[in-house]
Amino acid sequence: MESQRQKKIAGIIQKDIADILQRAAMDGGLNGVLISVTKVSVTVDLSVAKVYLSIFPNTDSEELLEGIKSNEPLIKHELAQRTRHQLRRIPELSFFVDDSLDYIEKIDKSLKHGENPIENRDLLDKRKKL
């Protein structure tokens, strides 16, 4: 269970990283690409922040994720500049694609087409726990 402090820090990081990534996408000429931060979870010792991203359209999501990971030091520096009055230390950032919306969409399609994913579990891919 997350402490209030972890939740507060996760909220600060989520808001600022969303802004940083949207601005970077616009400056990089990626018009029409929407990057949103769906969740941030911070470890108990506040040393690592897992950042889950939703990228739309998701055709280039893996490529964009690799670009974001390679720019992690720059993102962390920008985050430090923005949060210098709120956070003493910036946690290490780990980025992941949040596929929960795709998963929900697959379930929805299966239900609309009369296939029941609850009865036939082979209709949906196995999901990794976040």
Look at residue 86 in the predicted model and tell me its pLDDT: 87
The number of C-alpha atoms within 13 Å of 6 and in the hemisphere containing its C-beta is 15
Both 33 and 83 in one domain: the answer is: yes
Please, what sign has the CA dihedral across residues 22, 28, 33, 37? negative
Point out which residues pair with 130 in neighbouring strands: none
User: Predicted confidence band at 1 (pLDDT cuts at 50, 70, 90)?
Assistant: confident
106 with 94, same domain? no
User: What are 42-70's pLDDT values in tens digits?
Assistant: 999 999 999 999 888 777 788 888 989 99
More confident residue, 118 or 94: 94
Closest Cα partner for 11 from 42, 34, 56, 36? 42
Pairing verdict, β 48-56 and 92-97: parallel
Number of compact structural domains in the chain: 2
Identify the band that residue 18 occupies on the pLDDT scale cut at 50, 70 and 90: very high
Range of the domain at 126: 99-130
> 34-42 and 48-56: which strand pairing?
antiparallel
